[in-house]
Amino acid sequence: MSNDLFTPIRLGRTELQNRIVMAPLTRNRAAMPGNVPQDINVTYYTQRATAGLLIAEATPISPMAHGYPATPGIHTAEQVAGWNKVVAAVHAKGGKIYLQLWHVGRISHPSLLPDNAIPVAPSAIKPAGQAYTFTGLQDFVTPRALGLDEIPALLEDYRRAAELALEAGFDGVEVHAANGYLIDQFLRDGTNQRQDQYGGSIANRSRLLLEVVATVSKVWGADRVGVRLSPINQFNDIRDSNPQALFNHVVEVLAPFKLAYLHVVEIGMSNDAPQAFDFNELRRAWQGNYMANGGYDKARGNAAIASGHAECVAYGVPFIANPDLVERFLADAPLNVPDQSSFYGGTEQGYTDYPRLT
């Protein structure tokens, strides 16, 4: 019998009741000041706990890692306590939840950082576009290139955040290496023009990702760590001259870790024409659990699993509007229409008030 979205699976050390994953979704609803998870966040995640796995929203690992207002962090005791309430409520419903570890790099603004600091990046290259700040959109600034002597402190931030996620009770963590944020900035030659051991060759540009994964795995065990990649996404003004060669190499060097899963965003999030990329080639190079993400519906999700393209499928926008997405898929019921105006920031409206089937 072939597998489908409703077949249980084991990802590393984590047993999932189904293969429907809630993708990490930034919603900008942490309590301010302090970027602390609050009661409406508890409600939001608990409503969606029938997913095989919830991947909590991208979560900054340090004060310097923030790039948007009201995103919950994982670098203070108050944040840990807030996340602990979320995790406990999800576990009480029988759900499993990972935390996504995030550093935005240059996709920030001094007004969002301690002492109006300049954002950091692999190289001092200003991104096109504007930052979302507490006073509205403001042009991105030219970032400061991270010094070679600063890399150990960055890795320490990842280690400490991983420890705090463990303390908060999560089932695992996902390293965010996608969507034009700091690790992705190191991977791509469009943003990384360094002349040291973190720049130049594909192997050098992949070094930071490998060091982060090794650091986090020492805390969690690699079988409770996932990695997210987005090979063709040009969101946040990110690009590479040869993404196929780059990400084939990344998958090759990640393989020895025996991670819980590889989470691959197979679409772009910007209006740029996507670069040619063979995801089947990437998939063939990865022998572990592959999590597909990008515009999947129930039928495409089932087909991806039945064909062996993916072990599980991550859904984003459908989970925003359908807290009971798993039940709706099971019943072939119609889906609620998402209200895009309430995606980012606000109150319970458009967050915890979408109707359920029953």
The two structure tokens encoding residue 271: 């209006």
Give the pLDDT of residue 269.
78
> Predicted confidence band at 256 (pLDDT cuts at 50, 70, 90)?
very high
* Residue 261 backbone phi and psi in degrees, to 5: -170, 165
Give the pLDDT of residue 73.
98
Instruction: For residue 40, give the DSSP letter.
Output: H
- 21: in domain: yes
Question: Domain with 172 in it: what CATH number?
Answer: 3.20.20.70
Residue 257, SS3 per DSSP = helix
Give the pLDDT of residue 268.
83
Of the candidates 21, 26, 20, the residue with the CA atom closest to the CA atom of residue 235: 26
Q: Is the pLDDT of residue 69 over 80?
A: yes
- pLDDT tens digits, one per residue of 144-184: 999 999 999 999 999 999 999 999 999 999 999 999 999 99
Give the pLDDT of residue 280.
95
Q: Which of 98, 158, 181, 290 is catalytic?
A: 181
- Rounded-to-integer distance, Cα 101 and Cα 173, Å: 7
- Rounded-to-integer distance, Cα 317 and Cα 330, Å: 18
The rounded mean pLDDT for the chain is 97
Give the pLDDT of residue 273.
67
Burial of 290 (0-12, 13-18, 19+ CB in 10 A): buried
Q: Is the pLDDT of residue 1 over 80?
A: no
The two structure tokens encoding residue 43: 């409600």
Residue 144 to residues 66, 123, 149, 150, Cα–Cα distance (Å): 15, 7, 14, 12
- Rounded-to-integer distance, Cα 140 and Cα 119, Å: 9
- 180: in domain: yes
Q: Is there a catalytic annotation at residue 181? A: yes
- 213: in domain: yes
Q: What is the mean pLDDT of residues 292-307?
A: 97
Report whether 357 contacts 331 (CB < 8 A): yes
Q: Is the pLDDT of residue 342 over 70?
A: yes
Q: What is the mean pLDDT of residues 343-354?
A: 97
- At position 325, the amino acid (one-letter code) is L
- 357: in domain: no
| C-alpha 202, offset from chain centre | 22
Domain that holds residue 259: 9-342
Domain count for the chain: 1
- pLDDT tens digits, one per residue of 79-131: 999 999 999 999 999 999 999 999 999 999 999 999 999 999 999 999 999 99
> Predicted confidence band at 134 (pLDDT cuts at 50, 70, 90)?
very high
- 352: in domain: no
